[in-house]
Amino acid sequence: MLNEQQRQRALVVLHEYLDAAQLVDEDRDLDEKRATMIGSDLKPLVQSYLNGGIDMAEFKSRIDGLNKRNRFWGFKGIKGQMFFNMVVNVADDPEECDQEIKSAIALPPNEQMASSRMKTFASYVQRLGDQWVGAGNTRHGRPKPGSIPFFLSYFWQVQDCDTWPVYYTSSVNAMVDLNLWQPSGELPDDYLTYKRLHEELARLFASDVGRDFHLYDVEHVFWLKGGNPYETAQDEVTPAIDDERRLPITAVVTDDSTRLPESYVPPIVAILPRIARHEPGLDELARHSGTTLDRAFEKYIDAAFTVLGYDTRLLGQGHGRVPDGVAVALDESYAILWDGKIRSGGYSMGTDDRTIREYITTQSRELKRRRGLRNIYYAIVSSKFADDFDDAIRSIKMETDVNEVTLIESDALVAMVDAKLRAPLQLTLGSDGLQRLFSSSGILSARIVIEQL
């Protein structure tokens, strides 16, 4: 599954982890506590629920209590206990809900069954969400299918910790940052790929260090890059994070250390203009981070759209002829297809217009068909733009389904994030907020963003 370059990159991270002796000792202690808790509390509790010894309400309450007192898996976060609560709260048929949860969390005998159970449970959760919204409720209260891989793999690992790794967002992000893997967006396929990567890396690491490597050990290696998805009492050594919500991406600190910072913008977004201009030295920093500057630029743009509140998906490398990413505002019924272009002298439209038109046509039709979106916008993010873009924009709009084509100067994307973080409740994704920035074609500068928002 991994090529030689990827294996070597993973081994570098392994040795960085092994050199951090204190972390290794802490993780070994954590694993012992996990094993004790599984044997004495969690596994018997799950079996009691599956066998009908306790009802769903008691099971949910006791799982919540155990994980609050013993924060070894990060289950108390939004993709664990909060997701569990949402599923139960929106279900209008408690008996059906009970059976769906039991069928989903029961230990799968093989990968094929795991995939089937994940698909079935995802369909059920999607139906619950559709019914919830159809009854006049907001989308924010519905359970999100994206939480399912973490939720189910937690219960599967409790029942068989040697086979099923927990699907941590932090570990996924660390693997993506190291260019070991790019999720497809298909939940069962992504989880099984994640599982197989853990198995392959366990064999690779065991061969390298000359001892057995458990799935937990692989997990810990990637926590070094992505952050521990649980909270411990040793916060001064291993900073606690917000369970499954952390977005770990290496960034360069650019703050002026002579005064207190005033910007609301996180470093991962603040560095975008420097990357867009292709400043000297950044290629080397990217190489040391196990990636390329182009890929880092794409991931940081995706992070900016995530901060703004969009449902994002990073595409680009490894996905064929596609845009670099997509940002969806489902409630407002629009999506932004975007590309990132690193140019020291600015980007000139026309050099790859044919390819752009081809994948815009494919992606926009797919988004309208599958998600029922009314409006599709196309955006390019770069340092600046040459003024010969009118004909290219006109051609794209005439030959594709996009409503507008926006040329976003990287400074403008930073300004959007700053505005969002300063007034998160007031600045919406709708026509009275961010959408209006994409509702006209041409260059979008930081000055325009500040004037509009």
Same domain, yes or no, for 224 and 297?
A: no
Same domain? 181 vs 299:
no
272 and 133, same domain (yes or no): no
Let me know if residue 255 belongs to a domain.
no
Q: Are the beta carbons of 290 and 178 closer than 8 angstroms?
A: yes
- Helices and strands in the chain: count of H runs, count of E runs: 19, 6
Instruction: Let me know: does 148 contact 129? Beta carbons within 8 Å.
Output: no
Assess if residue 29 is contained within a domain.
Answer: yes
Do 368 and 427 fall within a single domain? yes
Residues 220, 313: one domain? no
Residue 398 inside a domain? The answer is yes
Task: Report if residue 90 sits inside a domain.
Answer: yes
Specify the pTM.
0.61
Asked if 273 and 213 sit in the same domain, the reply is no
Answer whether residue 426 is part of any domain.
Answer: yes
Tokens 């000055």: give the residue.
447
Domain range spanning residue 433? 267-452
What is d(CA 82, CA 75) in angstroms, rounded to the nearest whole number? Answer: 9
Sheet holding 404-409, edge to edge: 311-314, 325-329, 334-340, 375-382, 404-409, 442-444
Same domain, 158 and 275: no
CB 251 within 8 A of CB 271: yes
Determine, yes or no, domain membership for 404.
Answer: yes
- Contact (CB, 8 A) for 204 and 7: yes
Statement to judge: residues 215 and 346 lie in one domain: no
- 3-state SS class at 308: helix
**Domain termination site, one of 209, 243, 277:** 243
Q: Are residues 184 and 321 in the same domain?
A: no
Q: What does the block give as tokens for 38?
A: 């599984």
Q: How many CA atoms does the CB half-sphere of 228 hold within 13 Å?
A: 23
Dihedral Cα 55, 59, 61, 63, nearest 10 deg: 180
- List Cβ neighbours of 129 (8 Å cut-off, separation of 6 or more): 90, 139, 142, 143, 144, 145
Whether residue 12 lies inside any domain: the answer is yes
Whether 224 and 277 share a structural domain: no
Residue that has been written with the tokens 């979106």 in this structure: 373
DSSP assignment string, 192-231: HHHHHHHHHHHHHHHHHHTS---HHHHHHHHHHHH--SS-
Provide the angle, in degrees to the nearest 10, between the axes of the packed helices 111-134 and 148-159.
140
C-alpha 449/C-alpha 453 separation (Å) is 6
pLDDT in tens, the chain (453 residues): 899 999 999 999 999 999 988 889 989 999 999 999 999 999 999 999 999 999 999 999 999 999 989 888 989 877 899 899 999 999 999 999 999 999 999 999 999 999 999 999 999 999 999 998 888 876 667 888 989 999 999 999 999 999 999 999 878 878 887 889 988 889 999 999 999 999 999 999 999 999 999 999 999 998 876 554 443 333 323 333 334 423 333 333 344 455 556 667 899 999 999 999 999 999 999 988 888 999 999 999 999 999 999 999 998 665 567 889 999 999 999 999 999 999 998 898 875 667 788 888 888 888 888 788 899 999 999 999 987 788 889 889 988 889 999 999 999 999 999 889 988 887 889 887 899 899 889 999 987 887 676
175 and 324: one domain? no
Strands (E), 11-166: none
Question: What is the rounded CA–CA span in Å between residue 146 and residue 289?
Answer: 28
8 A C-beta contact, residue 264 and residue 422: yes
Q: How many domains does the chain have?
A: 2
Q: What SS3 state is found at 364? A: helix
Q: Is position 249 within any domain?
A: no
| Domain match, 197 and 289 both | no
